[in-house]
Chains A and B, each alone.
Chain A
Amino acid sequence: MGASRKAATISVPPYRKNQFRLLPYLLLIPSMTVMVIFIFYPFINSVRLSFYATDSMGHAGTFVGLRMWKKVLTSKEFRDSLIITLKYCGSIGVGTFALALILSYISVKMVKGSRIYQTMFALPMALATAPMASIFAYIFSKYGIMNAMLGTNNIWLSGKTLFPVVVFIVIWANCGPSFIYLLVGFRNVPNELLECAELDGVSPLRKFFSLYLPIASPQVFFVIFLNIITAFKSFTMIKILVGTDDSPLSTLLVKLYKYAFERERYETGCIYSLILCLLVFLVSRVQFYFEKKAVFYQ
């Protein structure tokens, strides 16, 4: 028995090309089944449902073609929602990037104790959004600490201050991952280069723009687009701080929630979800384009 196996393995290599093997397919079944049922089918079903009138159970009823699409796309509600979404995502994209850039640049040097503030700057990404939103709801409430500190009597989460306050909070909450990516990018700058720059008396500003930014350019681009895409998906903060009912911050995702889960108008919800998906896709295409053009790889 032993001898025969030995002979067999010597003459037969473990991997013969073009030999059909069942095992790889079997091992892929679990992941692939879940992906098909909970990622690919839902996507296709969203497209399908958007052409039907659905009942409250989410079954497709009568085929209405593009009528619902037309109704949504020409509505003022949709236009307002799109504008506020773009404004919101733009503000958060820029703000998060700027904050992460500053925090990572001041943390770039590894010294004794740098771990402490590095951990603190990254911490918000581990904090659940719902409890943090509750804490901020208190801080910015009428009797909250913000009014106490400033000596004002504002109701922050309403009227004109609502948008900047929510954007500020979301920037704080979203900053962690960008901070980490940029920090990793900045730490890629070789020490020899920094020493050369030091010897030549290069100013810190010049060092930042001519050394750190070019070398971290892959991370910089990644982070800019990551933030925009994350902002498209932000929901918890808005739901808890502002609410979903005719809120002044009705982003596309809030509309999706309102139509699909509060009113059981699944087809309208699906249309909003597909538009959201399209926007995310467009942003990734732009990212891809810029990455090819402008990123400097070592």
Chain B
Amino acid sequence: MRPFAYTRAADVAAAVAEVGSDPGSEYLAGGTTEVDMLRIGVARPRRVVDINDLPISGIEELPGGGVRLGGLARMSDAAAHPAVRGRFPVLAQALEKGASAQLRNMASMGGNLMQRVRCAYFRDGGAACNKRAPGSGCAALGGVDRGHAVLGTSEHCIATHPSDAAVALTALDATVHLRGRAGERSIALDDFFLLPGDTPEREHPIEHGELITAIEIPASEEARTSHYLKVRDRESYEFALASAAVALLVEDGRVARVRIGLGGVATKPWRARRAEAALAGAPAERASYERAAAEELAAAVPRRMNAFKIELARRTMVRALETTASLGARGGTG
């Protein structure tokens, strides 16, 4: 392992100042991705600043029914919180279908949004990767690309965003709160993730050292009837081949409100806005869902081994819509 310095930050301002002023410093939160990256030499910081002592791990209910998750709230705590389970079941389900119980106990919500891609070429220092080494090429193109994305790809990067929780959060219109050296600001979750385009090394529209202090989820009626469907090779401890986060309100047999996120198939947590538009006011029935799913996946680009994910994503979206519709007007997670 490459040598690096390790410090612990005592408060948010100090942490932001330390990392923000030094391009060679990185934050260490739960460490469930970062430590792997250090071990395999893909993360090469001069110093890691441990932020686990910072007082941003709480979970608060907001006036009006929303929820504010601290940037250091553990995935397991967020998934267990009664307000999350009752008002945003899709998020509780997505969290509990992510990683393993041990990892969820360590991993933070902010870290979940910042986690790096699982592309084997990104993690292999000997392979070409524009994300790790800009301009070196993309070994995934024509390589073993079974798990790679079909939506939002470019000729420079086709790595899939691995998060489940972020897929639910994008469907829930969450907001990311940041603290940087210039102060505080917030970014809509969908805007927090960048498409790879020709700069796949740039994953978020933030400055070096900006820290996620919280994630806010606004209340909505449809979020109460929401559902996360994750399709994967095995039943646990595995990333999605395709997933769908759906929040749906049906009135008089028609889709009154719907928000859809797709996971496992795109380079970012994918907000399925085309499908949402196609569903607006449509009869809440399979034919509408199929039409909407086809619309959303029309732009998908298949590669050597992952063409099946286009059809799988369509079906996953349709199944998730059907399941959510069947939940009725009020539902929740356990």
Task: Specify whether A and B are partners.
Answer: no
Q: List residues of chain B with CB under 8 Å of any chain A CB.
A: none
Q: List residues of chain A with CB under 8 Å of any chain B CB.
A: none
